Structure 1
Amino acid sequence: MDEKKTHPALKRTIMVIAMALTGFHLFATFLWIAPSSALREVIPGDLLSKYMIPMWGQSWSVFAPEPINGDYYFDVRAVVSTPDGGEETTDWVRATDVELDHSTYKLFPPRSAGLAIGVASDLKGSWEALSDDHKAIVALDYFKGDDSVDRLEAKLSEYDDPDGAVSSYLEDEEVATRYATQVALAVWGEDVQRVQYQAARQNVVPFAKRNDKDAERPAIQPVPVGWRALSFAENQSNEEFAQYFCASDTVRCVSEQ
């Protein structure tokens, strides 16, 4: 008799817990996608961001105050050594197209399919904050010697940077260089000597011209960056990246030749 009474109580307890968890999730999701307000302070500290990222992160907001209105591109090329001791410059590879191929028509696309877009977006944003003098410097080549990054940083520090834009840019450039290094090694193999990459954005046709059949998309907005030495992150697996990246049919890697 007691055992029969226990089961309904257990079911009710499980149901209450499940409803509480569901309610918290819905509330947290609302706070995350809603415009920023004091209501977020209901959840203390950084608990909200830790809960939402990376599993439940959303790439849009309620009322879409800034809807996506453009495409980002990330192109990579390299200088490779040749059997006769010379060097050869490769063609450009659009890494964003390669990665998007991993998600196109896929029911469960990998989260990594937007990696190149994220790299391009971050680099473009931090580059825009630089002064014209700083932009001219990052367009130069810095790849010779083990101190190429230090020399670039030292040159950039010669010009005023009241808003601290340079440090943010250098962080994003480091990420971009390491990503470009992995792309280059995956596509052209161990003969890669240095890399160059270009992040760019192209806006869509303006909304006011949406019905104009002759309307054209605005020009591409590139981020000119010079040649850079290869760069590697700790615990970075070039082999695993190559297996993932080269699985796309839009690129032919050295392992397939």
Structure 2
Amino acid sequence: MPDADLEPVRPWQRRVVLTLGFLVLVHSALLMLWLAPSSPIRDLVGSRNLASYVDPYFQQDVDTVDPSVQFVDESFQVRALVKEGTPKSQVTEWVDLTKDDVQDVRYDPNPARVHLIARRLATNLNRSMFALEPAQRKIVRESKVTDTTSDRAAALNAAGDSSAVVQNYLAYDQMATQFASLYAASKWKGTVLQVQFKVGRRSVPAFSKRHDTTIQDVSYLWFSFGWHPAFHGSLEAQAPFDSFVKG
């Protein structure tokens, strides 16, 4: 038996609830259309119309939930000094390893770990370089192939006030040298004598400029490193690079 104390739902209350429910459905549909890739329905509504609704109130939220959002793009490039059959050695062209990796893993939800190494090195080297003082970055940029690790550590410590920052940089510099050397040995014929690398970093344009500017229009901020003696690894260390580069 119905409770006599309960008041019946009035018509205006039902209309308010239905209206709110309708507005929530429309709002959700517009957000889904705005996040969705191009389609006939999305094109019918219009990208600018969707943006004019979403931008003023929900821009930050959309940045957070957009699965394709990427705030920073980084580059790791390598070149080498190679000697092949003649007394004179040759400097190779720069190779952008991160660019090649992006092409190789496109649409691959589970890429091989080897395709992620160059980008992780770029990230770690960029962070370590930003942590150095300007005078220390100059030392890194102008370092010579004859400089030992101890020489560079002493010079970097003398130009800064944090030995931990210097040790962090030197660790990633060693990783990058070994990676670049093994890659170069697989990439170019002859004997790899020296390697050099540089890392770049650029930020995604402001969300409000997405219709006029893409990340491809933004220039990299580069950190250059001096030449390093090539690292010659074991056959076991070189084999995966041969398979990766030549395969």
TM-superposed CA distance for 1:134, in Å, is 0.5
In structure 2, the partner of 1:228 is 228
Aligned amino acid, residue 199 of structure 1: V
CA distance in 2, matches of 1:213, 1:244: 34
> Which is helix-richer, 1 or 2?
2
| 1:212-250 per-position Cα deviation (integer Å, ceiling 9, x unaligned) | 369973321111111111235788611221211333xxx
Matching of residue 184 in structure 1 with residue 184 in structure 2: yes
Cα RMSD of the aligned pairs, angstroms, is 2.6
CA distance in 2, matches of 1:237, 1:214: 39
**Is the CA contact (8 Å cut-off) linking 2:178 and 2:231 kept in structure 1?**
yes
TM-superposed CA distance for 1:149, in Å, is 1.9
TM-superposed CA distance for 1:204, in Å, is 2.0
1:132 to 131, 134, 144: 134
In structure 1, the partner of 2:31 is none
In structure 2, the partner of 1:251 is none
In structure 1, the partner of 2:145 is 143
| 1:160-185 per-position Cα deviation (integer Å, ceiling 9, x unaligned) | 32373111111111111111111111
1:116 to 90, 109, 118: 118
Matching of residue 240 in structure 1 with residue 240 in structure 2: yes
**Is the CA contact (8 Å cut-off) linking 2:204 and 2:214 kept in structure 1?**
no
What is the number of residues matched between the two proteins?
Answer: 182
CA distance in 1, matches of 2:235, 2:167: 24
Q: Go from structure 1 to structure 2 and tell me whether the alpha carbon gap of 1:107 and 1:135 turns closer, same or farther (over 3 Å shift).
A: closer
Aligned amino acid, residue 240 of structure 1: P
**Is the CA contact (8 Å cut-off) linking 1:142 and 1:149 kept in structure 2?**
no
**Is the CA contact (8 Å cut-off) linking 1:102 and 1:110 kept in structure 2?**
no
TM-superposed CA distance for 1:80, in Å, is 0.8
Structure number with bigger Rg = 2
Structure 1, unmatched stretches of 5+, are 1-61, 248-257
Aligned amino acid, residue 99 of structure 1: D
Aligned amino acid, residue 231 of structure 1: F
2:104 aligned counterpart, secondary structure: coil
Q: Go from structure 1 to structure 2 and tell me whether the alpha carbon gap of 1:219 and 1:150 turns closer, same or farther (over 3 Å shift).
A: same
Q: Go from structure 1 to structure 2 and tell me whether the alpha carbon gap of 1:233 and 1:161 turns closer, same or farther (over 3 Å shift).
A: farther
Aligned amino acid, residue 94 of structure 1: D
**Is the CA contact (8 Å cut-off) linking 1:139 and 1:225 kept in structure 2?**
yes
Q: Which residues of 2 match residues 244-255 of structure 1 at below 5 A?
A: 244-247=244-247
Aligned amino acid, residue 88 of structure 2: G
Structure 2, unmatched stretches of 5+, are 1-63
**Is the CA contact (8 Å cut-off) linking 1:142 and 1:229 kept in structure 2?**
no
Relative to structure 2, which stretch is displaced further, 233-242 or 169-178?
Answer: 233-242
1:71 aligned counterpart, secondary structure: strand
CA distance in 1, matches of 2:124, 2:103: 21
2:158 aligned counterpart, secondary structure: coil
Matching of residue 99 in structure 1 with residue 101 in structure 2: yes
Q: Go from structure 1 to structure 2 and tell me whether the alpha carbon gap of 1:200 and 1:92 turns closer, same or farther (over 3 Å shift).
A: same
1:192 aligned counterpart, secondary structure: strand
Aligned amino acid, residue 185 of structure 2: L
1:226 aligned counterpart, secondary structure: coil
CA distance in 2, matches of 1:180, 1:224: 14
2:93 aligned counterpart, secondary structure: coil
Matching of residue 212 in structure 1 with residue 205 in structure 2: no
CA distance in 1, matches of 2:70, 2:233: 30
| 1:91-149 per-position Cα deviation (integer Å, ceiling 9, x unaligned) | 011111233333224464212211110000000011001001100000023323xx622
Q: Go from structure 1 to structure 2 and tell me whether the alpha carbon gap of 1:159 and 1:84 turns closer, same or farther (over 3 Å shift).
A: same
Q: Go from structure 1 to structure 2 and tell me whether the alpha carbon gap of 1:190 and 1:141 turns closer, same or farther (over 3 Å shift).
A: farther
In structure 2, the partner of 1:161 is 161
1:84 aligned counterpart, secondary structure: coil
**Is the CA contact (8 Å cut-off) linking 1:119 and 1:172 kept in structure 2?**
yes
| 1:196-225 per-position Cα deviation (integer Å, ceiling 9, x unaligned) | 001111222221211336997332111111
